[in-house]
Chain A
């Protein structure tokens, strides 16, 4: 049976892993590759490295970081996000060790053809759409971090999912990101694209909260950032408190 996943997130800014609070304040945590090595050993289901400044500054993906991550010989599936705007860049990211690619700012472009080209080259299963969301009245507002402007979803975005160009959507509760137990579940229940597997991220710190989210049929994974980075074996402890049937059993790395 296909399991739901616990995704460990490493937020990277200026090449350093940081603890992020609502994408407004940052505390340094250290080298991303060291954190990734820990999370790999702790048996997370996927590791997401999210470079939050690459897209804003037009720097493209951080290939140097991907090379350093590859040298750590990770055996956990790696998702990379940050600065990927073209199919060429997406292919390069995969070539250097990522299994899947997050698409963020490219979704805001009027021309979504580069995303379609990524799907042709890598397959839809490799693509995750990233949506920093907040609730406004009964609807959802989607934030463009580059300019701080929020807007509703476009018809083009919805078509990308309907046509199977992107396989999953990651919903980021950006305003609650870094706040314990604060993820707004209505971002999931009100998400307008139905039949799209969702990854919930931002303010998820408690296993009980993750269990509620994972019990929703549209949620394929929960992503946890800051809260997994401080304690030895944090991922195993988190998973042990979740229902067995939903997730892959907790593992402890023994391979030497």
Chain B
């Protein structure tokens, strides 16, 4: 069986090197590009991201990748967002002033408030019956963020607790957003990433 090809979206706001090497390590082919023609040939699109919401969204719009991603989601192309990439999948964020997101998953991104930021390793609780996430319950993963998803429970697959529970993984059909960094969560993260990409591509 040929290896799945992951299209890593290069929009200038990502930790591309880490994600690319993580994907290669777990046995996927990987193509880094900002060209819709190239990305359209991939089995799954991965939207990475480290940084702030507003400049990242501006970069997506400037390159026309925002419209491309919405179109691809409409075509049922599997799409995975990591950390900031997950937040960009939502309708809006209050980071740096209210900014519209891709709107692929209902909900918004809000600040942690007095808790300020959530940095380090935290465990997951699976709150859905989705088998794709079941084995991740109680595993620990690396988080590094100041804002989090606030949206309907039906899209929340797993939560982590930081004072109170918040969404760590969200899903709508073939679109998944992961708030933490599976590519930097050692064996547990790699297992999850592999399982998720294969699960989405074969769903």
Contacts and interface: CB of A to CB of B under 8 A. Distances in A.
A45 B120 contact: yes
A255 B183 CA distance: 13
Given A75-B186, A123-B95, 20 more contacts: A1-B123, A1-B161, A2-B118, A3-B120, A3-B121, A3-B140, A43-B186, A45-B120, A67-B17, A70-B17, A71-B21, A73-B25, A74-B21, A75-B184, A75-B185, A99-B50, A99-B144, A125-B118, A126-B144, A220-B119
Given A125-B117, A255-B190, A77 B52 contact: no
Given A3-B122, A220-B119, A76 B187 contact: no
A10 interface: no
B191 interface: yes
Interface string B122-166: 110000000000000000101111100000000000000110000
Interface residues of B, number: 42
**How big is the A interface, by class?**
35 or more
Interface of B: 14-18, 21-22, 24-26, 50-52, 55, 95-96, 116-123, 140, 142-146, 161-162, 181, 183-191
Q: Is the interface of B mostly helix, strand, loop or mixed?
A: mixed
A116 to B, nearest CB: 12
Contacts of B21: 70-71, 73-74, 97
Contacts, number: 126
Contacts of A249: 140
A121 interface: yes
A125 B144 contact: yes
Contacts of B122: 1-3
Interface of A: 1-5, 40, 43, 45, 66-67, 70-71, 73-78, 91, 94-100, 120-126, 164, 167-168, 197, 220-221, 248-249, 251, 253-255
